[in-house]
């Protein structure tokens, strides 16, 4: 690797080799050749004078791209598509006259972009399913373990460790549905010509609409699509890029939520991401176990969420049938959106495969707050023993404020229970109050909600996609 020029961190640190290849030049130019072959076959089928030998020649050289010839030609003509038409023709002298016949640059450029995005979305879908499988297993294991819940980042009623994981999983489930929608909604541009009117194909097929439409249908089928866009200018609508990156942004949003929650839980010492045997947490503080993976998730997620603005502006600034100010932007924005989400999911696979839980810390944090939350239960138990509700309510209110002052101003422990036990008007001893303070009695339907969500939504989806599961993370650093 060269060390004296800029190299993208997506290449060296973050994205998988698989996703990098999808957005590589090699994949792009090989796809161009697949499209030229599909075009030639479709045109031959509709009667144009294209021979089997010419098509065989094209197929013989579909993968051995002569990059040096294409690069040298592009220096002369300043046009990437025509450079590769020329290079392909050098390798296929018998077929060079029928390569790209009737097409415009967007025939290979835009159709390839759709094909590449579909490949990328399929990888995202697969990795997303694997993250969901890991979180589902975790949620099921910890569905009944009480944990302190928060609203406004202040202690609220209890939840369970598994229910919180189900919240993370629930958002990823929504993202999966959106990714599926985008994959199923993709359509090829087809063979629309220079301004989308198919005028060149009207000339080639002497105005025969049926043949022109059949060419498009055959091209789509050859590339694994059931449809082409019904109407276009020279390009497919750039809103397609925006919709795809919006779906990726959704994954990033869910990942950032997960990463931020994990960073907070690490601070509380309730949960941690996996920490490797020889991992160094800090260059200055040897004891530290920084949540560096979740921090990286959040950093990359922020990038993706901002990146989606690029195709939004690109879609809005296209002039009439097309303008070229989309090209330089979209080849960066779309590719890096995919590479970043790929990196995020790689990290989530790693983190979710080794989540660390500290039950004693979780229990301790609950018990520091539970007396406040259980005050109504305590009051009602005292009322059953003959106490005056209004009097007891006021006393608990005062005792709770006094106990909170001890915790906040003096750094002491929550002594609300001791204060209540010392007041004979409650008629309760410590054992009776302790029996009330069972965290498991304060988690509502958390465990049942987890079970129902997994049974109704997640397990059927995972079972349907069982062949895609079992993936491990690929982390560079």
Look up tokens 């100010």; give the residue: 325
CA atoms within 13 A on the CB side of 130: 24
Partner residues linked to 146 by β-bridges: 160
* Alpha-carbon Rg for the chain in angstroms: 31
Whether 152 is catalytic: yes
The CA distance from 454 to 406, in Å, is: 43
User: Which phi and psi angles does 231 have, rounded to 5°?
Assistant: -150, 140
How many degrees, rounded to 5, is the angle at CA 472 between CA 361 and CA 297? 60
How many degrees, rounded to 5, is the angle at CA 110 between CA 104 and CA 113? 150
Question: Smallest Cα–Cα separation from 18: which of 129, 172, 132, 124?
Answer: 124
In the DSSP assignment, the letter for residue 12 is I
Look up tokens 């094909």; give the residue: 115
Report CA-CA distances (Å) from 391 to 418, 422, 425, 427, 436.
18, 16, 9, 13, 20
Among the listed residues 79, 282, 364, 476, the single catalytic one is 282
Report CA-CA distances (Å) from 134 to 18, 103, 272.
21, 47, 15
Among the listed residues 16, 61, 152, 375, the single catalytic one is 152
The CA distance from 117 to 475, in Å, is: 23
CA atoms within 13 A on the CB side of 429: 1
Whether 393 is catalytic: no
Instruction: Give me the active site residues, please.
Output: 152, 282
């Amino acid at each position: 690797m060269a060390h004296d020029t800029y190299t993208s961190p997506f290449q060296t640190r973050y994205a998988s080799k698989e996703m990098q290849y999808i957005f590589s030049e090699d994949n792009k130019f090989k796809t161009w050749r697949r499209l030229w072959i599909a075009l030639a076959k479709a045109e031959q089928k509709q009667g144009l004078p294209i021979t089997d030998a010419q098509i065989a020649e094209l197929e013989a050289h579909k993968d051995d791209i002569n990059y040096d010839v294409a690069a040298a030609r592009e220096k002369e003509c300043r046009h990437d598509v025509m450079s590769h038409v020329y290079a392909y023709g050098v390798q296929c002298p018998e077929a060079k006259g029928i390569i790209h016949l009737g097409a415009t640059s967007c025939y290979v450029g835009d159709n390839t972009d759709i094909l590449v995005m579909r490949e990328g979305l399929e990888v995202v879908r697969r990795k997303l399913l694997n993250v969901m499988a890991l979180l589902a297993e975790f949620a099921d294991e910890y569905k009944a373990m009480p944990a302190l819940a928060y609203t406004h980042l202040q202690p609220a009623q209890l939840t369970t460790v598994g229910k919180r994981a189900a919240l993370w999983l629930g958002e990823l489930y929504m993202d999966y549905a959106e990714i599926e929608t985008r994959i199923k909604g993709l359509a090829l541009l087809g063979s629309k010509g220079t301004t989308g009117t198919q005028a060149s194909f009207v000339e080639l097929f002497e105005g025969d609409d049926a043949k022109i439409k059949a060419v498009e249908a055959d091209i789509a089928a050859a590339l694994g699509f059931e449809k082409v866009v019904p109407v276009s200018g020279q390009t497919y609508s750039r809103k397609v890029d925006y919709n795809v990156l919006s779906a990726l942004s959704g994954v990033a949003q869910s990942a950032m939520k997960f990463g931020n929650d994990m960073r907070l839980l690490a601070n509380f010492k309730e949960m941690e991401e996996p920490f490797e045997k020889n991992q160094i947490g800090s260059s200055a503080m040897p004891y530290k176990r920084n949540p560096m993976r979740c921090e990286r998730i959040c950093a990359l997620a922020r990038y993706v969420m901002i990146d989606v603005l690029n195709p939004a502006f690109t879609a809005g600034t296209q002039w009439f049938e097309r303008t070229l100010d989309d090209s330089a932007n979209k080849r960066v924005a779309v590719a890096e959106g995919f590479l970043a989400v790929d990196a995020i999911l790689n990290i989530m696979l790693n983190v979710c495969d080794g989540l660390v839980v500290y039950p004693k810390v979780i229990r301790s944090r609950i018990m520091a707050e539970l007396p406040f939350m259980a005050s109504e239960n305590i009051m009602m138990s005292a009322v059953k023993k003959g106490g005056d509700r209004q009097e007891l309510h006021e006393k608990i209110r005062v005792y709770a404020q006094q106990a909170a002052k001890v915790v906040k101003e003096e750094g002491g422990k929550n002594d609300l229970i001791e204060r209540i036990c010392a007041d004979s008007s409650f008629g309760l001893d410590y054992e009776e109050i302790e029996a009330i303070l069972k965290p498991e009695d304060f988690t509502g339907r958390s465990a049942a909600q987890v079970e129902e969500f997994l049974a109704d939504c997640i397990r059927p989806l995972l079972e349907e996609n069982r062949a895609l599961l079992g993936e491990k993370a690929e982390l560079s650093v």
